[in-house]
Amino acid sequence: MSERPDEGTWQPSGELRSTTSKEEENSSAQELFNSIRSAIVAAIESALLSYENIDPNTGRLVSLSLREDASIERSESRIHHNSETTLLQISVMPTHVQDCHQEWFIKELFSMIQAGFLLQNEWNIIVPRTGTTFEGFRPPYALSHKEPDSCILTIDQGMPTIVFESGWTESHPRLRSDTNLWTIGGASTVQLVFTIQWSKLSGGRVEGVMEVYNRSACGHCKPARPSGAV
């Protein structure tokens, strides 16, 4: 795990396992960190930064260092590193549209309580979270680092049971790969993954398509129900 960087610096303290030397690996990670940090700090509107074919160890170190950088923390960016697909993505300055599902889901939880579907003692152990960092995934996602748009877990769990991942059209590859990361890498705690893909329409309107996934008996994610427009 890296130490908290000072302004504009990065000092990895974790051991790297690679066919390259540690110095070469650290140099590559340093360059990637500097590039991402500069892009985030310079951002003036919502953006999705994507980096493909990232070595899993490098991705993990860079993700941890980004999370611990004070300037990036202020931007409320959400960091997604999938060590299986070697994809590193950062959602910079998430919009109200990307987060609107949070209000809907919280209201649904209260409706469940009023209807008696969710008991008071069950509600007392439920913990809603937004942008929380999760690690400790099962192989082949062991080095992954995930900050879901929102999730639900209980006070005695390290992984969520229900996860929401939301993004604009350009997030589609990440949203699809996230379903496997959560349902396989988060097994057997993660039960449902909601993905919401937003598209901009004419006249200032937006359209969203929601898909719900769970883990199949053979260990792969599958749609829990037909997808629908939001």
**Same domain? 64 vs 106:** no
- Where do we find the tokens 């969520």? 160
Same domain, 26 and 133: no
Distance CA 87, CA 50 (A): 7
At residue 20, the pLDDT reads: 42
Same domain (yes/no): 30, 118: no
Co-location of 165 and 57 in the same domain = no
Distance CA 111, CA 114 (A): 5
Are 87 and 139 found together in one domain?
A: no
Same domain, 72 and 141: no
119 and 159 share one domain: yes
DSSP state of 134: B
pTM confidence score: 0.78
Tell me how far apart the alpha carbons of residues 172 and 189 are, in angstroms, rounded to a whole number.
24
Residue 192 pLDDT: 94
Q: Which of 115, 118, 126 is nearest to 162 (CA)?
A: 126
Question: Domain holding 165: CATH number?
Answer: 3.90.1570
One domain, residues 165 and 220: yes
Q: Are strands 192-200 and 162-168 parallel, antiparallel or unpaired?
A: parallel
How far apart, in whole angstroms, are the C-alpha atoms of residue 90 and residue 36? Answer: 9
pLDDT the model gives residue 23: 57
Range of the domain at 47: 22-92
Rg of the chain over all Cα atoms, to the nearest angstrom: 18
The tally of domains found in the chain comes to: 2
Residues 138 and 85 in one domain: no
- 75 Cβ partners below 8 Å, 6+ apart? 40, 41, 43, 92, 93
124 part of a folded domain: yes
Q: Which residues of the chain have pLDDT under 50?
A: 1-21, 218, 226
User: Could you identify the residue written with the tokens 């192989």?
Assistant: 139
CA 150 to chain CA centroid, Å, is 9
Same domain, 106 and 207: yes
Q: Is 16 within the bounds of a domain? A: no
Angle between helices 22-42 and 56-67 (to 10 degrees): 40
pLDDT value, residue 94: 86
Residue-level pLDDT at 140: 94
174 in a structural domain: yes
Same domain assignment for residues 115 and 166: yes
The candidate with the shortest Cα–Cα distance to 213, out of 189, 187, 186, 195, is 195
Same domain, 176 and 147: yes
